[in-house]
Structure 1
Amino acid sequence: MSAIIKLKFFFEKHGFHVSSRLADTLGMRASSVRLFFIYLSFVTVGLWFAVYLTLAFWIRLKDLIRAKRTSVFDL
């Protein structure tokens, strides 16, 4: 067996066992728990992208409000 297939088998055996065990304790199907984690990962990526855009807008707004003066005589 090649190393990639062994690695895949290891992750399938131990990684999917986590979601199936969690589903057993919650009384749900394992596919629903896996789908929840997939949706959660997309939401967290989107959340940080929204934070990034908000901070970029805030910095841009701050620069627009404060006029940059080049010398003392621009008062």
Structure 2
Amino acid sequence: MKWIDNIRHFFEKHGFAVSSRFADRLGMNVSNVRLFFIYISFVTLGFSFGIYLTLAFLLRLKDLIYTKRSSVFDL
């Protein structure tokens, strides 16, 4: 069962952080957003998991395109 813990730790450490970013944006608690994704995935039979992965991809793409620069000289 050690390998299951290693897999879980990997996904917790290197996750997409979609829930935390939406929670920060909406001003909500992260656990409430995660619970929403869990509950809605049961209701829609896993369709929301696809939405979650799509949002993760779009957020990662946005991070690659837009970077915060503190100055004009940071180009």
TM-score (norm 1): 0.47
- Which TM-score applies when normalising by structure 2? 0.47
Tell me which structure has the larger Cα radius of gyration. Answer: 1
Q: Which has the higher contact order (CA 8 A, sep 6+)?
A: 2
Q: Which has the larger helix fraction? A: 1
